[in-house]
């Protein structure tokens, strides 16, 4: 089943074109890595797919429903975003922060019930924060904050996950475990912007490359990722190395 479909999608920011006439189909069980240099428009494209950036032409459909006709709450049930950064001017506990994800599932007068708390605690356990649920988010490290943001998205439990640089602030161990959690998900689909081509190669099934001039390239990881394309993508020579088990890309 196609969870996300774009038809002739052109996204612009002022004079800058992020992608031109993009046709994309993201199916159930697929994990798309979104790659591109700084300023290529990865964040803008992710925002466009859930209606946060509206400077666009063409069609976007979530689970077969046109995005521009979906209510905000319905969009939140279908698609969720892990933002690139999060800031908190007011103190709040880790558990309260994860519980935010239940908002699109609750009626206007409903309080969070036992099932909502259970969902939030399950998500915190998945990212290894279960012992910190009463901690103030302002006291968390950057990496813990990042894992909490993912737990909030897990609590929201949309079918399409849009992850904006999910590995930001994470050490190598947590980069790999977080992406393993993403890969272990049994249903739904993921589109995640990454800066590490090797993580994209290892955890992605597909890749979408934004070249920064409006050109885009989409396909399976095996087809799309090679040293020539990546060298063009990053405007930097990139070499492929095979260690027998996997191929690795190294910047010269």
Q: What are the residues whose beta carbons fall under 8 Å from the beta carbon of 92, sequence distance 6 or more?
A: 136, 137
Closest contact distance (angstroms) between CB of 133 and another protein is 13
Q: Quick one: which of 81, 160, 178, 208 contacts another protein (CB under 8 A)?
A: 81
Answer yes or no whether residue 108 interacts with another protein by CB under 8 A.
yes
103 binds another protein (CB under 8 A): yes
Taking the complex as a whole, the smallest distance from the CB of residue 249 to another protein amounts, in Å, to: 32
Q: Is 244 in the site for another protein (CB under 8 A)?
A: no
Q: Is 173 in the site for another protein (CB under 8 A)?
A: no
User: Which residue among 38, 54, 87, 141 contacts another protein (CB under 8 A)?
Assistant: 87
Question: Is there a contact between 25 and 5 (Cβ–Cβ < 8 Å)?
Answer: yes
Q: What is the DSSP letter of 130?
A: G
∠ CA 228-207-192, nearest 5°, is 130
Q: What is the CA radius of gyration of the chain?
A: 18
Decide if residue 111 touches another protein (CB under 8 A): yes
- How far is it, in rounded angstroms, from Cα 185 to Cα 178? 11
Q: Return d(Cα 42, Cα 212) in angstroms, integer.
A: 9
Tell whether residue 41 is a contact of another protein (CB under 8 A): no
Cβ closer to another protein: 36 or 104?
A: 104
DSSP-based three-state secondary structure for 223: helix
Residue 63 sits in the site that holds another protein (CB under 8 A)? no
Which CB sits closer to another protein, 150 or 233? 150
If binding is defined by CB under 8 A, does position 193 make contact with another protein? no
Residues 249 and 232: their CA atoms lie apart, in Å, by 13
Compare residues 17 and 93 and give the one whose CB is closer to another protein: 93
Comparing CB distances to another protein, the nearer of 153 and 230 is 153
Cβ proximity to another protein: between 155 and 249 the closer is: 155
In angstroms, give the least distance from the CB of 190 to another protein: 15
Q: How far apart are CA 71 and CA 123, in angstroms?
A: 26
Task: Write out the H or E segment, with its range, that includes residue 143.
Answer: helix 142-156
Interaction of residue 220 with another protein, rule CB under 8 A: no
DSSP classification of residue 157:
-
Give the separation between CA 160 and CA 149, rounded to whole angstroms. 16
User: Among residues 141 and 235, whose Cβ is nearest to another protein?
Assistant: 141
- Kindly state whether residue 134 participates in binding another protein, applying the rule CB under 8 A: no
Q: Is 97 in the site for another protein (CB under 8 A)?
A: yes
Shortest CA distance to 191 belongs to which of 178, 180, 202, 203?
Answer: 203
Residues that bind another protein (CB under 8 A): 50, 52, 72-77, 80-81, 83, 86-93, 96-97, 100-101, 103-104, 106, 108, 111, 138, 156
């Amino acid at each position: 089943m196609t969870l996300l479909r774009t038809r002739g999608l052109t996204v612009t920011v002022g004079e800058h074109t992020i992608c031109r006439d993009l046709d994309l189909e993201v199916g159930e069980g697929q994990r798309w890595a979104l790659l591109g240099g700084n300023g290529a428009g990865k964040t803008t494209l992710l925002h466009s797919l859930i209606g946060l950036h509206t400077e666009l032409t063409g069609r976007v459909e979530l689970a077969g429903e046109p995005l521009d006709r979906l209510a905000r709450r319905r969009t939140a049930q279908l698609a969720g975003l892990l933002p690139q950064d999060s800031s908190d001017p007011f103190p709040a506990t880790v558990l309260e922060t994860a519980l935010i994800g239940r908002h699109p599932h609750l009626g206007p007068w409903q309080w969070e019930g036992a099932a909502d708390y259970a969902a939030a605690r399950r998500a915190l356990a998945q990212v290894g924060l279960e012992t910190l649920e009463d901690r103030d988010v302002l006291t968390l490290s950057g990496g813990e904050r990042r894992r909490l943001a993912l737990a909030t998205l897990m609590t929201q439990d949309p079918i399409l996950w849009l992850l904006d640089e999910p590995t930001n602030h994470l050490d190598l161990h947590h980069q790999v475990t977080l992406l393993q959690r993403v890969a272990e998900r049994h249903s739904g689909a993921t589109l995640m912007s990454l800066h590490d081509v090797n993580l994209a190669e290892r955890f992605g099934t597909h890749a979408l490359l934004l070249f920064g001039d409006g050109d885009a390239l989409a396909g399976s990881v095996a087809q799309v990722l090679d040293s020539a394309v990546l060298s063009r993508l990053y405007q930097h020579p990139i070499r492929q190395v095979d260690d027998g088990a996997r191929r690795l890309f190294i910047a010269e």
